[in-house]
């Protein structure tokens, strides 16, 4: 391969990678993070909009119980952050960065609240 072919290839690849990155909007990034964080997607347990979800009902010692992760779209920012930092029974631990937690919070609270910067 001639040197200019190599440079051309490099420029083509790097510009296509760059353009992909720059074409993703904040809203798309937030949606992707909610659906596919580092682990199982939040929506699978908390619902598409964080409205909460009934996953299963079961009986234990004659008592009717359910696994129903709560709504997470009506929390204060402080409560949301505190919950993400703590262990939640029945929920994996994600170790998200403060910025990722902020993105998820804003994604789940689009109307009622001003974006937390």
Choose one: 3-11, 18-26, 72-80, 109-117; the region binding ligand HEC (CB under 6 A): 72-80
**How far are the Cα atoms of 21, 93, 115 from residue 83, in angstroms, in the given order?**
30, 10, 19
The answer to the question of residue 30 lying near ligand HEC (CB under 6 A) is no
Select 5 or 64, whichever has its Cβ closest to ligand HEC. 64
Taking CB under 6 A as the rule, does residue 89 contact ligand HEC? yes
Nearest to 104 by CA among 86, 85, 70, 77: 77
Q: How many chain residues are in contact with ligand HEC, going by CB under 6 A?
A: 21
Provide the token pair at 18. 């760059």
Which 3 state secondary structure label does DSSP give 97?
coil
SS3 (DSSP) at 57: strand
Site for ligand HEC, rule CB under 6 A? 37, 40, 42, 44-46, 69-70, 72, 75, 79-80, 83-84, 88-92, 94, 104
């Amino acid at each position: 391969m001639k040197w200019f072919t190599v440079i051309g290839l490099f420029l083509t690849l790097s510009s296509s990678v760059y353009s992909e990155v720059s074409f993703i909007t904040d809203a798309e990034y937030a949606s992707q993070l909610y659906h596919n964080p580092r682990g199982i997607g939040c929506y699978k347990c908390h619902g598409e909009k964080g409205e909460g979800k009934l996953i299963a009902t079961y009986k234990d010692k004659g008592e009717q119980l359910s696994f129903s992760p709560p709504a997470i779209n009506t929390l204060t920012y402080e409560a949301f952050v505190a919950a993400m930092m703590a262990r939640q029974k029945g929920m994996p631990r994600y170790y998200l960065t403060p910025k990722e937690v902020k993105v998820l919070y804003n994604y789940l609270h689009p109307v009622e609240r001003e974006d937390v910067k």
